[in-house]
Amino acid sequence: MTLFWLCALLMALLAAFVLGSPLLGPLREDERSMISLNVQVFRERLAELEKDRVEGRVDEETFSGLKTELERNMLSLADADTHPHKQQKRARSLFLLLMLALPLLAGAFYYFEQLNPALPAWWQTERAMQPLIDDVLAGKQPPGDNSQYTLPDFIRGLQLRMQSTPDNAQGWFMIGIGYMQLNMGEQALQAFERAYRLDPQRPEVELAYAQAQIFTNEGKLTPQSKALLQSVLVAHPQHEGALILLGVGAYRSGDFPLAIKTLDYLQTLRQSHGAVADSEATQELDKMLADARTQLALGGSTTAADSAGITVAVSIDPALAAKVQPGDTLFVFAKAENGPPMPLAVVRKPASGLPFAVELNDSQSMIPSMKLSSVTDVLVNARISHSGTPMPEAGDLEAIAVPLRQSGKPAHVDLQIREERQ
């Protein structure tokens, strides 16, 4: 912060010097020449007047009056000769005043009008996080309790460091992990892509990059995410996380042969490792495997038979329409009425397209044990985020959540964005 104020002071002084330097210019030569010429003319005129008196062309009284007038002109000319020097003195004083006033006025304007009160606190937090960031970039386990730092602060600190070390794959990987924890799939995808380009042989980077691709593709495999997961499994055939992503992603993509092969091997592997047979995760995987076999037997070519979803029509109160800014993001989501705050299904769209309708269903869940159809009583809501993050913030525009009891049949909910979050 001290460096910032020092640089700002130097820039203000430089601007004042550039603006005030013309005031320090020397007396112009044409002004000096004119003064000298006038003095010479009046002296010659006085000599001529003396000659006229001696030769009797003017009497004594006339001579005395004309001489007095010439002397007065000479005196005024002498005053004029000292006037530019007084001007120079005043100009120097004005220059010094400008050099003092401009930095003071600029600093006062920035402090009272432009300075964000949270900025000094952030600078202090950023400095305090440096040892933590050093450990993270080095791949070490950070020592001590770091709960005093929020996840967004940690991500901003890492991003600031990456400006000076843009080729650090670990840094981009950790930024992606942070964005995934904030449910910001697009940002996580960009960070993992950078990490993968810098370190393409690292299994955890491949896995995270594949997961981000699946997350932003409604839980379905893409050709690249499929290749990434298969690459991880070549090196680590029993990697449970890669098997789950590949099996579930293949199931939702309609690739039932790959889903059956992967999920069947995964369940066998889990049983050999002592997985609880009646756990929610195991039961969900068993259902998915059984459904994939059924779909394949029936010649199915789509993804899993979708559970009845919720059609949500979203509009905005005309009184708030002017507060929607370019680049704002609309989140439409459903979560358990009595349960964890994590959404069971969420759709993300540009807010500029309002009004429109979206469908919430099981295909938008990344966790098999937390599907929309697995909960009877849900809350359906919509929120416009100015920052593009799913976490609610002051200034966001949102609807009033609508409770809904699911019956296994298609449902419809109307939402209107009508409140500004305080």
**pLDDT confidence bin for 368, thresholds 50/70/90:** low
pLDDT value of position 1: 47
Quickly count: other Cβ atoms within 10 Å of residue 398's Cβ.
19
Kindly state whether residue 165 falls inside one of the protein's structural domains: yes
Task: Indicate whether 11 and 128 sit together in one domain.
Answer: no
Given a cut of 90, whether residue 210 has pLDDT beyond it is yes
Kindly state whether residue 87 falls inside one of the protein's structural domains: yes
Alpha-helical segments (H) within 273-383? 280-297
Which of 255, 271, 297 finishes a domain? 297
Q: Supply 354's token pair.
A: 């309002």
Which of 58-67, 112-121, 400-409 shows the lowest mean pLDDT across its residues?
A: 112-121
Which of 74, 95, 114 finishes a domain? 114
- Long-range pairs of 43-46 with CB within 8 A, sequence gap ≥ 24: 45/70, 46/70
Give the β-pairing of 345-350 and 329-336.
antiparallel
- SS3 state of residue 316: strand
Mean pLDDT value across residues 200-207? 90
**pLDDT confidence bin for 263, thresholds 50/70/90:** very high
From residue 332, how far is each of 37, 133, 183, 311, 391 by CA, in Å?
A: 87, 34, 13, 11, 13
Task: Indicate whether 272 and 342 sit together in one domain.
Answer: no
Which of 76-80, 127-131, 341-345, 396-400 shows the lowest mean pLDDT across its residues?
A: 76-80
CATH number, domain with residue 265:
1.25.40.10
Mean pLDDT value across residues 358-370? 74
Kindly state whether residue 303 falls inside one of the protein's structural domains: no
Backbone angles phi, psi at 123, to 5 degrees: -60, -40
Kindly state whether residue 150 falls inside one of the protein's structural domains: yes
Q: Tabulate helix, strand, coil % of the chain (nearest 5).
A: 60, 10, 30
Task: Indicate whether 257 and 154 sit together in one domain.
Answer: yes
Given a cut of 80, whether residue 147 has pLDDT beyond it is no
Task: Indicate whether 257 and 327 sit together in one domain.
Answer: no
Given a cut of 90, whether residue 158 has pLDDT beyond it is no
Alpha-helical segments (H) within 273-345? 280-297
Confirm if 178 and 151 have CB atoms less than 8 A apart: yes
Which of 250, 270, 297 finishes a domain? 297
Provide the whole-model pTM: 0.49
pLDDT value of position 207: 94
Kindly state whether residue 302 falls inside one of the protein's structural domains: no
Kindly state whether residue 304 falls inside one of the protein's structural domains: no
Confirm if 162 and 194 have CB atoms less than 8 A apart: no
pLDDT value of position 97: 73
Task: Indicate whether 269 and 357 sit together in one domain.
Answer: no
pLDDT value of position 204: 92
Given a cut of 50, whether residue 128 has pLDDT beyond it is yes
pLDDT digits (tens, 9 = 90+) for 91-118: 667 767 767 776 777 666 666 555 555 5
Which of 20-24, 47-51, 214-218, 322-326 shows the lowest mean pLDDT across its residues?
A: 20-24
**pLDDT confidence bin for 74, thresholds 50/70/90:** low
Q: Return mean pLDDT, the chain.
A: 78
pLDDT value of position 66: 76
- Percent of the chain at pLDDT > 90 equals 20
Task: Indicate whether 316 and 291 sit together in one domain.
Answer: no
pLDDT value of position 311: 84
Task: Indicate whether 11 and 38 sit together in one domain.
Answer: yes
pLDDT value of position 402: 94
pLDDT digits (tens, 9 = 90+) for 238-261: 999 999 999 999 999 888 999 999
pLDDT value of position 330: 92
pLDDT value of position 3: 55
Higher pLDDT pick, 84 / 213: 213
The CA distance from 262 to 247, in Å, is 5
Kindly state whether residue 314 falls inside one of the protein's structural domains: yes
Task: Indicate whether 208 and 163 sit together in one domain.
Answer: yes
Query: Which residue range(s) make up the domain with 386?
Result: 310-420
The CA distance from 192 to 189, in Å, is 5
Higher pLDDT pick, 249 / 55: 249
Task: Indicate whether 331 and 400 sit together in one domain.
Answer: yes
pLDDT value of position 303: 44
Given a cut of 70, whether residue 403 has pLDDT beyond it is yes
Task: Indicate whether 76 and 200 sit together in one domain.
Answer: no
Task: Indicate whether 404 and 277 sit together in one domain.
Answer: no
Q: Supply 31's token pair.
A: 């002004």
H/E element holding 411? strand 411-417
Given a cut of 50, whether residue 72 has pLDDT beyond it is yes
Task: Indicate whether 142 and 62 sit together in one domain.
Answer: no
pLDDT value of position 374: 83
pLDDT digits (tens, 9 = 90+) for 301-344: 444 444 567 888 899 998 998 899 888 999 999 998 887 778 88
Number of domains in the chain: 3
Given a cut of 80, whether residue 349 has pLDDT beyond it is yes
Kindly state whether residue 305 falls inside one of the protein's structural domains: no
